[in-house]
Amino acid sequence: MFTNNPFADLALIIPAAAMQYFVVAMVLLVIISTGLDMLHKKNVVYFFRNAKKAKKFAKTELSTGKKTAVILKTVAHDIATTSELGMGKRRLAHVLGMYGTILFWITSAVLIFKYTDGSIAPTYITSLWHAGALLTCLGGYWFWFFLRVDVSAEAHPWYRIITADLFVLALLACSTFGFAWSYTQFSNMIGLSYLFLILYIISNLVLFGGVYWSKFAHMFYKPGAAIQKNLAEADGSRDNLPPPADAPERFGLGIKREQPKHY
């Protein structure tokens, strides 16, 4: 089943151009919705004002090479490994979901734009597509049922849904229905295959069309915030915060009553 390219069989019913236009439309929805979100929340204005303020209070002028080194280190450490979450289950779940989603999206685009014209897709690409869906489901469902703050720490039931959950639920729906569609198509379950295909399309529309209301745009904000924070540390401005105290930290025994969960 992992060698199955579901988009190739779909191209016998729906023109390949229609699938490609759909992908382009989803990308445009992300760009437009993220732009509207920036205008509404004024995130970019905040980042520019903060950068200007940091430059004013900087104690060291960073060279282009130093800035590049800080940015690359931030991308490789903070962003690529979600280090802000610490060494724990929450971080592992995020890493699984993040890289699973990246694999799933990239291979989807490759299969749709390159292997819907009758040519056979390499098995490693179709395998990566299925593996991406599985990794997204593994990390996402682990997070949803066991690691969410309002579930594990605030005792809310796992089925409690708020607007902020739109992104993770739509992402899980895309991966789940996409994998189910491929399986039922490969197993020649025609009726179920069409059902999961429709659900897969709807979940994509919700995921990419709901960017304005979901946490999708945070994927773009968080890297920018991490880079700005590390640049502020490097030039000494520290976002206008005082430097760490030389005295040892003394919080008493209360803080040692339980291990931090990195919320």
pLDDT digit string (tens) for 24-34?
999 999 999 88
Q: What is the reported pLDDT for 152?
A: 61
Is 90 exceeded by the pLDDT of residue 149? no
Cβ neighbour number for residue 121 with a 10 Å cutoff? 20
Check residues 223 and 177 and name the one with the higher pLDDT: 177
Return the minimum-mean-pLDDT range out of 182-186, 192-196, 221-225.
Answer: 221-225
Reported confidence tier of residue 235, pLDDT bands at 50, 70, 90: confident
Q: What is the reported pLDDT for 179?
A: 96
Is 60 exceeded by the pLDDT of residue 263? no
How far apart CA 102 and CA 96 sit, in angstroms, is 10
Reported confidence tier of residue 76, pLDDT bands at 50, 70, 90: confident
Is 60 exceeded by the pLDDT of residue 51? yes
Return the minimum-mean-pLDDT range out of 109-118, 133-142, 222-231.
Answer: 222-231
Return the minimum-mean-pLDDT range out of 47-51, 215-219, 249-253.
Answer: 249-253
Reported confidence tier of residue 115, pLDDT bands at 50, 70, 90: very high
With a pLDDT cut of 90, the percent of the chain lying above it is 44
Average confidence (pLDDT) over 87-100: 89
Is 90 exceeded by the pLDDT of residue 35? no
What one-letter code names the amino acid at 205? Answer: L
Q: What is the reported pLDDT for 230?
A: 86
Handedness of CA 88, 132, 218, 44 (dihedral sign): positive
Q: What is the reported pLDDT for 262?
A: 52
Q: For the stretch 166-197, what's the b/e string if a residue is b when 16 or more beta carbons lie within 10 angstroms of its beta carbon?
A: bbbbbbbbbbbbbbbbbbbbbeeeeeebeebb
The overall average pLDDT reported for the chain is: 85
